[in-house]
Structure 1
Amino acid sequence: MSVNDVMPPPAVALLAREGAARDRLREALVQADVALVLEEDPNVLDPAALLAVAPQAVVIALEPAVEDALERLDAVLSSPDFTLVFDEAELAARREGWETQRWARHLAAKLHGHRQVLPPGAEVEEELVPEPGLPDTPEQLHANAPLAFHVDEAVDAADLLAGDSLYEPPGPWQPSQVTERDVEQTTDRHEPDAISSPVLPSVPLDHGSWSLLDDEASFAPAARVDVGPPPLPAFDSDRLSLVEMDEAAGPRRGAKGAVVVLAGIGGPDALRRLLAALPARLDVPLLVRMPLDGARYGNLVKQMARVSPLPVELAEIGADVVEGQVYILSDDTAAALRDGGLYFLGSTQGLDLAALPPAHSAVILLSGADLSQVDPALTLAEAGAWVGGQVGEGCYDPAAATAVVAAGMFAGEPQELAQAISARWELPEQGEPS
């Protein structure tokens, strides 16, 4: 008996303008086996009509033409009674064939609350029946087989595979150490050459005696005065200070630390709840790293700016990282220290957690965070950083978040994670005592 035989299909509302994107999303919802209770253009939607159908989830096709409408509906869409699922209208309209099927499976898993994202029948083993004749060769079996199919299947099944706790990645390469005995042996082998090499003493030249004039006096050796070595500068040891050395190197411009928020599948909903629960003043910036299809990070900035009390902007390479700001990081943007403060730089490797100062930083792993970031986050925690992971029913892909929680890090819903950050870095309102 399947889950659908016991529980009714979830009620879903589709908000999209008429066109190819809306058609593709409707097809995906039909394949996801949900109850489509409302299908409307956000520009003409009455908020009361949305509340009247009481959806469990709302799927929204994002595009510039509906941004004003979403702001008008923000009070309704912010309700915790249903889940929001955002999709880029342009990407939805372009999906065809295998991409459409794959996205529909992920959508169905999110709306039904399970993790079955493999194609139907993929988990069933074929029954082997003996047949006469020679079996097909591997070349015959894979003739004209598209590689993309197998790559997509591997991506879908990657999160379902069990990890190997006995495996430890190799440490960084260390150069071989040269011992004193090796040096002696090397010297012995090359000593004859060293003896036979002539020694050329360095002769000081008196440049003051050089002249272009044809004068006999110019050929006379100049008198030398032995003035001895120059005196060493005097230091006042009582006034030596590390603070003075830092100030001499230049004032700090960027923030001295940051809260890094990592997310993926299911992350927009969690990120929206996290930012909405933050205070209006924080003594730390938030760096959000959430990979998006098509790299539409500008739209993510607009979406999160509607709910965040803090300013939200796209990180700009070369700019300083400022406290009290939320930055959305693109794929090629990282952060590093410069003169004691953080700034953004370009990097093909993306954000490196090891570049953050642990005592002034934190890492939050939301739904869909990359598992490869678990070890760097825990390493940063050992050095003094605060680390937390999302838990609860709203966490669609909890693998990375669960891993840090299992290691003893803070666990909570996005709102609780925001409260923990606020307790550590919230600034008092102007006029209030600090």
Structure 2
Amino acid sequence: MSVNDVMPPPAVALLAREGAARDRLREALAQADVALVLEEDPNVLDPAALLAVAPQAVVIALEPAVEDALERLDAVLSSPDFTLVFDEAELAARREGWETQRWARHLAAKLHGHRQVLPPGAEVEEELVPEPGLPDTPEQLHANAPLAFHVDEAVDAADLLAGDSLYEPPGPWQPSQVTERDEPAAISSPVLPSVPLDHGSWSLLDDEASFAPAARVDAGPPPLPAFDSDRLSLVEMDEAAGPRRGAKGAVVVLAGIGGPDALRRLLAALPARLDVPLLVRMPLDGARYGNLVKQMARVSPLPVELAEIGADVVEGQVYILSDDTAAALRDGGLYFLGSAQGLDLAALPPAHSAVILLSGADLSQVDPALTLAEAGAWVGGQVGEGCYDPAAATAVVAAGMFAGEPQELAQAISARWELPEQGEPS
């Protein structure tokens, strides 16, 4: 029995300009077995027409030519009655063969509210047979979960904890440790010759002939401390003593296929004040990161901007990173720099950083993320029906990291770094 046997097909509106992207998306919606109630160019769409068909989901092909139209429709598209699905028009137009089939399966899973994204014949059939009684509680599900694994993991991680290298307490004192070599040498005092003195003849003004003055050696003025005048710089001294400029750490958000929708949900659930920046790395065809900034700025309570090489990374900001932008520490704070390899997770301070892997995150980032987690960073992965490409996110979840929907990941970040509003107790 399939989901469609018990539920009617969802009503879907397709907003895209005429062309190959619109054709590919129409074909994918047909394969997804939905009811296409509206197909229109956003530039000419009347908001009342969209509301009239009452769609459950709206699929939008994103491109620069529809940016102004989406701003005009923002009040309607922001309705909680709609599930918004975004796709890059250029990417959709180029999909062929296997990629088209795969995208259609993920789109169907999103629109029908299930997780079946495997091709026909690969799924595991389950009989929907109702059983009496209440479902198991979380306590019941973990009743027989062994603790030995977690204890062993804690023991292995104990050596990784930071220690105090400036002071190492001595071991217990043992009498056998004292040897003749440890005894302090006797301090010898100079032996004065026995000279008879007539203290009755002492006076404040002694006769000059009574004492022979010691020979004076003119050693000259004391030497000045040596320093390299070529390296003396008021600027360097000021920077060394100055305050930290950039943020102490950052939350890195990694995404790919299906990432725009997950990123929107993540950012929309964040608070308006956060004591950490978010660095978003989501490769886009054509490098249209400026468009991504505009899209995310509509839903994010935090300011969203494109990362600029050389600028400091500031807390409470969302930065969209281009392909050649990385982050590193300078004077104790993060700043953006150019790098052909892109963002390097190893450059982040673990104690003040986090990594979130959303749908489509690159599998090559799993090991660096887990390495950062071992050093003290917080790491989480997206789960749920909206995760079209869960490979990387599932890998970190399987390693014991936090798992949740984008909104739940945002709540976890908020709990760790949210700043109180002015006037509220911290």
Conserved? CA contact 1:211–1:218, under 8 Å: no
Which of these residues, 362, 367, 381, is aligned with residue 359 of structure 2? 367
1:364-397 CA-to-partner distances (Å, cap 9, x unmatched) read: 1222222322222222222222222222332233
> The residue matched to 1:224 in structure 2 has which SS?
coil
State the Cα distance separating 1:196 from its structure 2 match: 49
- Alpha carbons of structure 1 residues 133 and 313: separation in structure 2 relative to 1, 3 Å: closer
In the superposition, relative to structure 1, how do residues 209 and 291 fare at CA in structure 2: closer, same or farther (>3 Å)? farther
- C-alpha contact 1:118 1:156 (8 A) present in aligned 2: no
Cα deviations across residues 264-289 of structure 1 (Å, max 9, x unaligned)? 22221111111111122212110011
**Alignment check: 8 A CA contact 2:359 2:388 kept:** yes
For 2:265 and 2:40, the matched residues in 1 are separated by 25
Structure 2, unpaired ranges of 5+: none
For the residues of structure 2 that align with 1:130 and 1:370, how far apart are their CA atoms?
A: 39
Partner Cα separation in structure 1 for residue 36 and residue 77 of structure 2: 17
Q: Is the 8 A contact 2:249 2:352 kept in 1?
A: yes
Instruction: Name the SS for the 1:154 alignment partner.
Output: helix
Can you list the C-alpha shifts for 1:46-91, whole angstroms capped at 9, x where unaligned?
4444344343432112233322332233243234444322223344
Q: Distance in 2 between matches of 1:152 and 1:23?
A: 55
Q: Which has the larger radius of gyration?
A: 2
The secondary structure found in structure 1 opposite 2:253 is strand
SS of 1:196's equivalent in the other structure is coil
> Matches of 1:135 and 1:384 in 2, distance apart?
36
Instruction: Give how far 1:328 is off.
Output: 0.7
Contact residue 256 and residue 357 of structure 1 kept, 8 A: yes
Q: Percent identity among equivalent residues?
A: 99
Is the CA contact 1:159–1:399 (under 8 Å) kept in the aligned structure 2? no
Q: 1:24 to 1:252 in 2, by over 3 A?
A: same
- Compute the displacement of 1:343 (Å): 1.0
Describe the shift of the 1:83–1:155 C-alpha distance in structure 2 as closer, same or farther (beyond 3 A).
Answer: farther
**1:39 Cα offset (Å):** 0.9
What is the deviation of 1:242?
Answer: 19
- 1:210 touches 1:218 (CA, 8 Å); kept in 2? no
- Give the alignment's TM-score, normalised by structure 1: 0.65
How many Å separate the matches in 2 of 1:76 and 1:269?
Answer: 17
Give the direction of change, closer, same or farther, for the CA distance of 1:202–1:137 in structure 2 (3 Å limit). farther
Contact in 1 for aligned 2:110/2:386 (Cα 8 Å): no
Q: Is the 8 A contact 1:113 1:396 kept in 2?
A: no
Q: Confirm or deny: 8 A CA contact 1:389 1:401 kept in the other structure.
A: yes
Q: Write the deviation string for residues 141-162 of structure 1: whole angstroms up to 9, x where unpaired.
A: 9999999999999999999999
Which stretch of structure 1 is more off in the superposition, 71-80 or 163-172?
163-172
Judging changes above 3 Å, is the alpha-carbon distance between structure 1 residues 31 and 154 closer, same or farther for their aligned structure 2 residues? farther
Change (3 A) 1:178 1:266: farther
Relative to structure 1, the CA distance from residue 29 to residue 237 in structure 2 (aligned partners, 3 Å threshold; closer, same or farther) is same
SS at match of 1:12: strand
Aligned residues: 425
Moved more, 34-43 or 167-176: 167-176
- Report the counterpart of residue 64 of structure 2 in structure 1: 64
Task: Give the C-alpha shift of residue 407 in structure 1.
Answer: 3.0
1:334 alignment partner in structure 2: 326
> Any conservation in 1 of the 2:115–2:384 contact (CA below 8 Å)?
no
Cα-to-partner distance string for 1:160-200 (whole Å, 9 max, x where unaligned) = 9999999999999999999999xxxxxxxxx9999999999
Q: TM-score, normalised by structure 2?
A: 0.66
User: 2:60, 2:84 within 8 Å by CA — same for their partners in 1?
Assistant: yes
Q: Deviations over 1:393-413 (max 9, x none)?
A: 322333322333333332322
Provide the C-alpha distance between the structure 1 equivalents of 2:199 and 2:32, rounded to a whole number of angstroms. Answer: 89
d(CA) in 2 for partners of 1:349 and 1:180?
62
What's the CA shift for 1:335?
0.8
Q: Trace 1:16-165 onto structure 2 (pairs within 5 A).
A: 16-93=16-93, 103-104=103-104, 107-108=107-108, 110-111=110-111
Secondary structure of 2:381's partner? strand
The separation in 2 between residues aligned to 1:427 and 1:395, in whole angstroms, is 29
Q: 1:394 and 1:257, CA in 2 relative to 1: closer, same or farther beyond 3 A?
A: same
43-52 vs 248-257, which moves further: 43-52
User: 8 Å contact 1:276–1:309 — kept in the other structure?
Assistant: yes
Which residue does 2:417 correspond to in 1? 425
Distance 1:37-1:433 versus aligned 2 partners, 3 A rule: same
* Compared CA separation, residues 5 and 308, structure 1 to 2 (3 A): same
The CA distance in 1 between the partners of 2:199 and 2:389, in whole Å, is 76
